[in-house]
Amino acid sequence: MVILIKILVGIFAGVCSFPLSAYAHFTTEMGDFYGGILHPITDSQTILPILGFALWTSQQGIKQAGKMMMLYAGIIPIGAFMGFMNTGFLPGHVFWLCVLAGIGCLITCEYRPGLPLAFAITVVLSIYAGYANVFEVKDKIGDPVLYIVGLILGAGLLVLYLTGFLLSRKVEWKNIAIRIAGCFIFVAGVLFFVLKFPF
Protein backbone atom coordinates (compact mmCIF):
# COMPACT_ATOMS: atom_id res chain seq x y z
CA MET A 1 0.00 0.00 0.00
CA VAL A 2 2.83 2.41 0.88
CA ILE A 3 4.57 1.67 -2.43
CA LEU A 4 1.32 2.28 -4.34
CA ILE A 5 0.83 5.61 -2.58
CA LYS A 6 4.41 6.67 -3.40
CA ILE A 7 3.94 5.73 -7.06
CA LEU A 8 0.65 7.63 -7.32
CA VAL A 9 2.13 10.70 -5.61
CA GLY A 10 5.08 10.55 -8.03
CA ILE A 11 2.76 10.37 -11.05
CA PHE A 12 0.66 13.21 -9.61
CA ALA A 13 3.77 15.38 -9.09
CA GLY A 14 5.02 14.57 -12.58
CA VAL A 15 1.74 15.48 -14.24
CA CYS A 16 1.52 18.72 -12.26
CA SER A 17 5.00 19.74 -13.38
CA PHE A 18 3.76 20.15 -16.99
CA PRO A 19 1.05 22.81 -16.74
CA LEU A 20 1.03 23.78 -20.43
CA SER A 21 -0.19 20.37 -21.56
CA ALA A 22 -3.22 20.62 -19.31
CA TYR A 23 -3.97 24.31 -19.67
CA ALA A 24 -7.38 25.43 -20.83
CA HIS A 25 -9.34 28.62 -20.24
CA PHE A 26 -10.46 28.86 -16.66
CA THR A 27 -11.36 31.99 -14.74
CA THR A 28 -8.79 31.28 -12.06
CA GLU A 29 -6.15 31.16 -14.84
CA MET A 30 -4.93 27.78 -13.62
CA GLY A 31 -6.45 25.63 -16.32
CA ASP A 32 -9.27 23.13 -16.21
CA PHE A 33 -7.03 20.28 -15.12
CA TYR A 34 -5.73 22.13 -12.07
CA GLY A 35 -9.18 23.53 -11.40
CA GLY A 36 -10.52 19.97 -11.26
CA ILE A 37 -7.76 18.89 -8.89
CA LEU A 38 -8.04 21.87 -6.57
CA HIS A 39 -11.80 22.44 -6.44
CA PRO A 40 -12.54 19.41 -4.21
CA ILE A 41 -10.05 20.60 -1.58
CA THR A 42 -10.77 24.34 -1.65
CA ASP A 43 -14.57 24.34 -1.29
CA SER A 44 -16.26 23.53 2.02
CA GLN A 45 -19.19 21.96 0.19
CA THR A 46 -16.92 19.34 -1.30
CA ILE A 47 -14.02 18.82 1.11
CA LEU A 48 -16.08 17.73 4.14
CA PRO A 49 -18.05 14.98 2.34
CA ILE A 50 -14.84 13.70 0.70
CA LEU A 51 -12.99 13.64 4.03
CA GLY A 52 -16.03 11.98 5.59
CA PHE A 53 -16.05 9.28 2.93
CA ALA A 54 -12.34 8.63 3.48
CA LEU A 55 -12.84 8.35 7.25
CA TRP A 56 -15.81 6.01 6.85
CA THR A 57 -13.98 3.90 4.26
CA SER A 58 -11.05 3.45 6.64
CA GLN A 59 -13.44 1.86 9.14
CA GLN A 60 -14.49 -0.85 6.67
CA GLY A 61 -11.27 -2.87 6.56
CA ILE A 62 -8.66 -2.99 3.83
CA LYS A 63 -10.42 -5.37 1.39
CA GLN A 64 -13.76 -3.59 1.37
CA ALA A 65 -12.07 -0.14 1.47
CA GLY A 66 -10.14 -0.89 -1.73
CA LYS A 67 -13.31 -1.83 -3.61
CA MET A 68 -15.17 1.21 -2.29
CA MET A 69 -12.37 3.60 -3.33
CA MET A 70 -12.28 2.20 -6.88
CA LEU A 71 -16.06 2.51 -7.16
CA TYR A 72 -15.94 6.06 -5.78
CA ALA A 73 -13.43 7.22 -8.39
CA GLY A 74 -15.32 5.40 -11.15
CA ILE A 75 -18.72 6.97 -10.38
CA ILE A 76 -17.54 10.59 -9.96
CA PRO A 77 -17.76 11.26 -13.75
CA ILE A 78 -21.49 10.36 -13.68
CA GLY A 79 -22.16 13.00 -11.03
CA ALA A 80 -19.97 15.47 -12.95
CA PHE A 81 -21.96 14.79 -16.14
CA MET A 82 -25.18 15.45 -14.22
CA GLY A 83 -23.70 18.75 -13.03
CA PHE A 84 -22.82 19.77 -16.59
CA MET A 85 -26.29 18.82 -17.84
CA ASN A 86 -27.94 20.84 -15.03
CA THR A 87 -30.45 18.08 -14.41
CA GLY A 88 -31.70 19.59 -11.15
CA PHE A 89 -31.69 16.03 -9.80
CA LEU A 90 -29.78 17.05 -6.68
CA PRO A 91 -31.00 20.10 -4.75
CA GLY A 92 -27.66 21.69 -3.86
CA HIS A 93 -27.63 22.89 -0.25
CA VAL A 94 -30.27 20.54 1.13
CA PHE A 95 -28.55 17.48 -0.30
CA TRP A 96 -25.15 18.72 0.90
CA LEU A 97 -26.43 19.10 4.45
CA CYS A 98 -28.04 15.65 4.35
CA VAL A 99 -24.80 14.13 3.02
CA LEU A 100 -22.78 15.79 5.81
CA ALA A 101 -25.14 14.69 8.56
CA GLY A 102 -25.46 11.18 7.07
CA ILE A 103 -21.76 10.47 6.60
CA GLY A 104 -20.99 11.98 10.00
CA CYS A 105 -23.54 9.66 11.59
CA LEU A 106 -22.09 6.62 9.77
CA ILE A 107 -18.58 7.45 11.03
CA THR A 108 -19.65 8.23 14.59
CA CYS A 109 -21.62 4.97 14.83
CA GLU A 110 -18.77 3.09 13.10
CA TYR A 111 -21.38 1.53 10.84
CA ARG A 112 -20.05 -1.43 8.84
CA PRO A 113 -22.69 -2.57 6.35
CA GLY A 114 -22.38 -5.46 3.96
CA LEU A 115 -20.75 -4.88 0.59
CA PRO A 116 -23.98 -4.17 -1.38
CA LEU A 117 -25.16 -1.45 1.02
CA ALA A 118 -21.63 -0.03 1.30
CA PHE A 119 -21.51 0.18 -2.51
CA ALA A 120 -24.93 1.89 -2.60
CA ILE A 121 -23.78 4.53 -0.09
CA THR A 122 -20.52 4.96 -2.03
CA VAL A 123 -22.45 5.53 -5.26
CA VAL A 124 -24.58 8.25 -3.64
CA LEU A 125 -21.52 9.98 -2.17
CA SER A 126 -19.51 9.80 -5.40
CA ILE A 127 -22.41 11.12 -7.51
CA TYR A 128 -22.69 14.00 -5.05
CA ALA A 129 -18.91 14.62 -5.24
CA GLY A 130 -18.99 14.82 -9.03
CA TYR A 131 -22.14 16.94 -9.12
CA ALA A 132 -21.09 19.40 -6.40
CA ASN A 133 -17.67 19.96 -7.95
CA VAL A 134 -19.16 20.86 -11.33
CA PHE A 135 -22.58 22.46 -10.85
CA GLU A 136 -21.54 25.87 -9.52
CA VAL A 137 -18.47 26.32 -11.76
CA LYS A 138 -19.67 24.70 -14.99
CA ASP A 139 -19.85 28.03 -16.85
CA LYS A 140 -16.16 28.68 -16.08
CA ILE A 141 -14.90 25.34 -17.40
CA GLY A 142 -13.41 25.35 -20.88
CA ASP A 143 -12.62 21.65 -21.35
CA PRO A 144 -14.93 19.34 -19.35
CA VAL A 145 -12.76 16.26 -19.98
CA LEU A 146 -9.64 17.86 -18.46
CA TYR A 147 -11.67 19.14 -15.53
CA ILE A 148 -13.21 15.73 -14.81
CA VAL A 149 -9.81 13.99 -15.07
CA GLY A 150 -8.40 16.52 -12.60
CA LEU A 151 -11.44 16.05 -10.37
CA ILE A 152 -11.00 12.27 -10.30
CA LEU A 153 -7.29 12.69 -9.48
CA GLY A 154 -7.87 15.32 -6.81
CA ALA A 155 -10.74 13.61 -5.00
CA GLY A 156 -9.41 10.09 -5.62
CA LEU A 157 -5.91 10.81 -4.31
CA LEU A 158 -7.27 12.60 -1.26
CA VAL A 159 -9.47 9.60 -0.41
CA LEU A 160 -6.69 7.12 -1.23
CA TYR A 161 -4.07 8.89 0.86
CA LEU A 162 -6.23 9.52 3.92
CA THR A 163 -7.79 6.05 3.88
CA GLY A 164 -4.40 4.39 3.37
CA PHE A 165 -2.85 6.49 6.12
CA LEU A 166 -5.58 5.56 8.59
CA LEU A 167 -5.57 1.87 7.66
CA SER A 168 -1.80 1.68 8.11
CA ARG A 169 -1.85 3.18 11.63
CA LYS A 170 -2.04 0.68 14.50
CA VAL A 171 -2.47 3.06 17.40
CA GLU A 172 -5.04 2.67 20.15
CA TRP A 173 -6.59 6.10 19.80
CA LYS A 174 -7.17 5.90 16.02
CA ASN A 175 -10.76 4.63 16.17
CA ILE A 176 -11.71 7.21 18.78
CA ALA A 177 -10.15 10.02 16.73
CA ILE A 178 -12.02 8.90 13.59
CA ARG A 179 -15.32 8.80 15.48
CA ILE A 180 -14.71 12.26 16.96
CA ALA A 181 -14.01 13.59 13.45
CA GLY A 182 -17.26 11.95 12.29
CA CYS A 183 -19.11 13.61 15.14
CA PHE A 184 -17.68 16.97 14.04
CA ILE A 185 -18.88 16.38 10.45
CA PHE A 186 -22.34 15.38 11.72
CA VAL A 187 -22.59 18.47 13.93
CA ALA A 188 -21.41 20.68 11.06
CA GLY A 189 -24.16 19.27 8.84
CA VAL A 190 -26.86 19.78 11.46
CA LEU A 191 -25.58 23.26 12.36
CA PHE A 192 -25.45 24.40 8.73
CA PHE A 193 -28.96 23.00 8.23
CA VAL A 194 -30.35 24.93 11.21
CA LEU A 195 -28.61 28.13 10.09
CA LYS A 196 -29.81 27.70 6.50
CA PHE A 197 -33.40 26.79 7.39
CA PRO A 198 -34.22 28.34 10.79
CA PHE A 199 -37.45 27.06 12.33
152 versus 139: the higher-pLDDT residue is 152
pLDDT reported for residue 11: 44
* Cβ-contact 83, 89 below 8 angstroms: no
Q: CA dihedral defined by 195, 108, 91, 158, rounded to 10 degrees?
A: 110
Using one digit for the tens of pLDDT, what is the confidence trace for 140-172?
888 888 899 999 999 999 999 999 888 888 888
pLDDT reported for residue 190: 81
What distance in Å separates the CA atoms of residue 50 and residue 47, rounded to the nearest whole number?
A: 5
Q: Could you tell me the residue range of the domain that residue 138 belongs to?
A: 2-196
Name the maximum alpha-carbon separation found in the chain: 51
Mean pLDDT of the chain: 79
What distance in Å separates the CA atoms of residue 124 and residue 116, rounded to the nearest whole number?
A: 13
Decide if pLDDT at 2 tops 70: no
Using one digit for the tens of pLDDT, what is the confidence trace for 18-57?
443 333 334 445 688 888 888 888 877 788 889 999 999 9
Pick the closest to residue 125 from 106, 150, 99 (CA basis).
99
pTM of the complete model: 0.79
Round the CA-based radius of gyration of the chain to a whole number and report it.
Answer: 17
Q: Map residue 114 onto helix, strand or coil.
A: coil
Number of domains in the chain: 1
